[in-house]
């Protein structure tokens, strides 16, 4: 198969949801459809249960699970689909952001009882930043949920994206009868089953067909006729190009646990979802069809085996063909790297692969050379953009509790930060080290892992900080001046970039007013 054929076969997407909306269940059903797994129950949730969040074993277990389930490949109707799971828990939001840089589109799961939840909103913001095409799956229709019109309005308003239903539910909860496929004009009747993978479809081209009344009764038939008329009147025709630009989200209704409504979505997904596209670097745009390989690292899992300091770096292939054992240019580093241990992720199995194509995600066994955001190429010095650090929300100073273990602590902190567990800022004055996170849980993970993996003991002392702002000025002198005058509040991030540590919103505003030549950014890429 040619490179172009390989590219056109691939659809790489992320699955996002507020915890409990049904992401794991939907993932599993998609794998069942793809024939990648044979039985339900094979996919493990990577969810961190808040009730057990202080249980360290649980966190360790979760780490293991999230490696196994974070990338899953499967074949469906001749397509190679790569599904990337994202942690729903808000404390791992950065991990999710980074994962979303490696996908070409997203499927978002929404619970029809709860509607749009807070985490969904945050995830959507990230999709919008990157104009990622989104398909919405409204789940749990077998339960008494909210009115579908109301749900669609909520998605539009809270997620700030136009929607276009492509299927429509016939009633809900106990009286749920099925969905009408507005795209193919087919009726799919619901029969609760957690196992079967084929649905009963009836083609009803014309809704005035009296067979409809036989299937779902006159009341519901009339209701459906009215609904479809209303929808076709209110919503403009679905345009794939608008979806691809991230302007319109097609919406499907179904019940993941009952395997219902998923095939409609998958069939549409493989038709409309984007194949790997051109990506931006600091030098130029890179087309996936270029013969020379390029790719970037978006995720690292370290110390899976405490006896060996090995780590798995997740590489997204962006162009050309990636080959095992071939030396590649490590753009940030000084020496070429070659990888003999390369795994692909098919369903829940890992297997050694010799080659990979644009859109694919492979795991590289690495001994500590790679960092999140690193680019690998066949020679050219490029750097893929789009993996920024975001200002953390919570800041704590690192206090070493065991002076004998200073080296271990430094090494541990450095490695955990390279893995992207949290962000480290080092103050210019006194070299005080501050860890910034999105949630409390991250501190617990760091503390635990430093002890367990590096034998270092730390305390975290809360700091009263509002945001870390990456600072910039066209005028180098002005920037130096600013850094000098605000020295006590200046730190460097992991890459040595200058950061202003703002104590409050009001104070930041004042500083911004006083220094109009300096720009302040809440992300490291601006
Ligand atoms: P995740 O946190 O988004 O991965 O959610 P899960 O897939 O673990 O699902 C959360 C809960 O919702 C589980 O108890 C599922 O069995 C249940 N669930 C998932 N899909 C459906 C559905 O279609 N209907 C109903 N009633 N429950 C569902």
E-assigned strand segments in 117-270? 134-139, 162-165, 167-170, 178-181, 186-189, 200-203, 248-253
Question: Among 3.40.50.300, 3.40.190.10, 2.60.40.10, 1.10.1040.10, what is the CATH number of 279-377?
Answer: 3.40.50.300
148 known member of a binding site: no
Q: What is the pLDDT of residue 382?
A: 94
CA angle (357 as vertex; 353, 363 as ends), nearest 5: 45
Q: Whose CA is nearest to atom 11 of ligand 1?
A: 20
Distance from the alpha carbon of residue 240 to the mean position of ligand 1, in angstroms: 29
Distance from the alpha carbon of residue 256 to the mean position of ligand 1, in angstroms: 7
Place of tokens 């969904």: 120
41 known member of a binding site: no
Where do runs of H (alpha helix) occur along 455-490? 476-485
Mutating to test ligand 1, I would choose from 43, 90, 257, 259 the residue with most ligand atoms within 8 A of its C-beta, which is 257
366 known member of a binding site: no
User: Which tokens belong to 437?
Assistant: 């996170």
As to burial, measured by CB atoms within 10 angstroms (0-12 exposed, 13-18 middle, 19+ buried), residue 206 is exposed
CA dihedral 172, 165, 88, 470 (to 10 degrees): -150
Distance from the alpha carbon of residue 22 to the mean position of ligand 1, in angstroms: 4
Residues of the chain with pLDDT under 70: 36-69, 88-91, 192-200, 303-309, 346-350
87 known member of a binding site: yes
Where do runs of H (alpha helix) occur along 34-73? 56-70
Distance from the alpha carbon of residue 482 to the mean position of ligand 1, in angstroms: 52
Distance from the alpha carbon of residue 31 to the mean position of ligand 1, in angstroms: 16
Please state which CATH number belongs to domain 3-176+237-272: 3.40.50.300
The residues spanned by each domain of the chain are: 3-176+237-272, 279-377, 394-521
Q: What CATH superfamily classification does 394-521 receive?
A: Peptide chain release factor 3, domain III (3.30.70.3280)
User: Which tokens belong to 57?
Assistant: 């074993």
> Which ligand 1 atom sits nearest the alpha carbon of residue 255?
23
Helix axes 440-454, 406-418, angle to 10 degrees: 130
464 known member of a binding site: no
274 known member of a binding site: no
**204 close to 221: Cβ distance less than 8 angstroms:** no
Q: Whose CA is nearest to atom 2 of ligand 1?
A: 20
Distance from C-alpha of 31 to C-alpha of 33, rounded to nearest angstrom? 5
> Which ligand 1 atom sits nearest the alpha carbon of residue 258?
23
> Which ligand 1 atom sits nearest the alpha carbon of residue 46?
4
Q: Whose CA is nearest to atom 25 of ligand 1?
A: 140
Q: Whose CA is nearest to atom 9 of ligand 1?
A: 22
**394 close to 436: Cβ distance less than 8 angstroms:** yes
437 known member of a binding site: no
Distance from C-alpha of 360 to C-alpha of 357, rounded to nearest angstrom? 6
Distance from the alpha carbon of residue 21 to the mean position of ligand 1, in angstroms: 6
Mutating to test ligand 1, I would choose from 66, 107, 108, 256 the residue with most ligand atoms within 8 A of its C-beta, which is 256
> Which ligand 1 atom sits nearest the alpha carbon of residue 139?
23
140 three-state secondary structure: coil
454: closest CA among 495, 414, 497, 502?
Answer: 414
282 known member of a binding site: no
**99 close to 61: Cβ distance less than 8 angstroms:** no
Q: What is the pLDDT of residue 306?
A: 59
- The ligand 1 site (C-beta within 6 Å) comprises 17, 19-25, 45, 47, 88, 139-140, 142-143, 255-258
């Amino acid at each position: 198969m040619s490179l172009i054929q390989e590219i056109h076969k691939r659809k790489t997407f992320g699955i996002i949801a507020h915890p409990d909306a049904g992401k794991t269940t939907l993932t599993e059903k998609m794998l069942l459809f793809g024939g990648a797994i044979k039985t339900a129950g094979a996919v493990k949730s990577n969810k961190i249960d808040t009730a057990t969040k202080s249980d360290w074993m649980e966190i360790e277990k979760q780490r293991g699970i999230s490696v196994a389930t974070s990338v899953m490949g499967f074949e469906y109707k001749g397509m190679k689909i790569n599904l990337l799971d994202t942690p729903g828990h808000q404390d791992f939001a950065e991990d999710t952001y980074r994962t979303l840089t490696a996908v070409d589109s997203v499927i978002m799961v929404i619970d029809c009882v709860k509607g749009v939840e807070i985490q969904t909103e945050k995830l959507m913001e990230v999709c919008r930043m990157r104009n990622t095409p989104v398909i919405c799956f409204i789940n749990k229709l077998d339960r008494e949920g909210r009115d579908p019109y109301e749900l669609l309005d909520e998605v539009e308003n809270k997620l700030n994206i136009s929607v276009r239903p492509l299927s429509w539910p016939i009633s809900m909860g106990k009286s749920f009868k099925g969905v009408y496929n507005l795209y193919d004009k087919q009726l799919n009747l619901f029969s609760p089953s957690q196992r079967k993978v084929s649905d009963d479809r009836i083609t009803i081209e014309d809704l005035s067909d009296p067979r409809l009344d036989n299937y779902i009764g006159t009341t519901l038939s009339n209701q459906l006729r009215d609904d479809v008329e209303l929808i076709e009147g209110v919503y403009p025709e679905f345009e794939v190009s608008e979806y691809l630009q991230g302007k319109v989200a097609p919406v499907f209704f179904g019940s993941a646990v009952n395997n219902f409504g998923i095939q409609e979505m998958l069939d549409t997904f493989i038709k409309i979802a984007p194949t790997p596209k051109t990506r931006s670097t600091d030098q130029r745009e890179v087309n996936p069809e270029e013969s020379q390989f390029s790719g970037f690292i978006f995720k690292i899992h370290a110390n899976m085996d405490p006896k060996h300091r090995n780590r798995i770096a997740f590489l997204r292939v962006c162009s050309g063909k990636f080959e095992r054992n071939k030396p590649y240019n490590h753009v940030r580093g000084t020496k070429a790297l070659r990888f003999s241990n390369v795994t692909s992720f098919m369903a829940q199995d890992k297997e050694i692969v010799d080659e990979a194509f644009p859109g694919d995600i492979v795991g590289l066994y690495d001994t500590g050379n790679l960092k999140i955001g690193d680019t690998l190429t066949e020679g050219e010095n490029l750097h893929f953009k789009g993996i920024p650090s975001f200002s953390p929300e919570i800041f704590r100073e690192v206090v070493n509790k065991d002076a004998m273990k200073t080296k271990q602590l430094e090494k541990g902190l450095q490695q955990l930060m390279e893995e992207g567990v949290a962000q480290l800022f080092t103050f210019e004055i006194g070299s005080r080290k501050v860890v910034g996170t999105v949630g409390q849980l991250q501190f617990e993970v760091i503390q635990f892992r430093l002890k367990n993996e590096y034998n270092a003991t730390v305390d975290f002392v809360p700091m009263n900080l509002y945001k870390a702002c990456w600072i910039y000025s066209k005028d180098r002198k002005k920037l130096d001046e600013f850094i000098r005058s605000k020295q006590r509040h200046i730190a460097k991030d992991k890459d040595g970039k200058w950061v202003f540590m703002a104590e409050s919103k009001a104070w930041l505003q004042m500083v911004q007013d006083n220094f109009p030549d300096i720009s302040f950014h809440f992300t490291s890429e601006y």
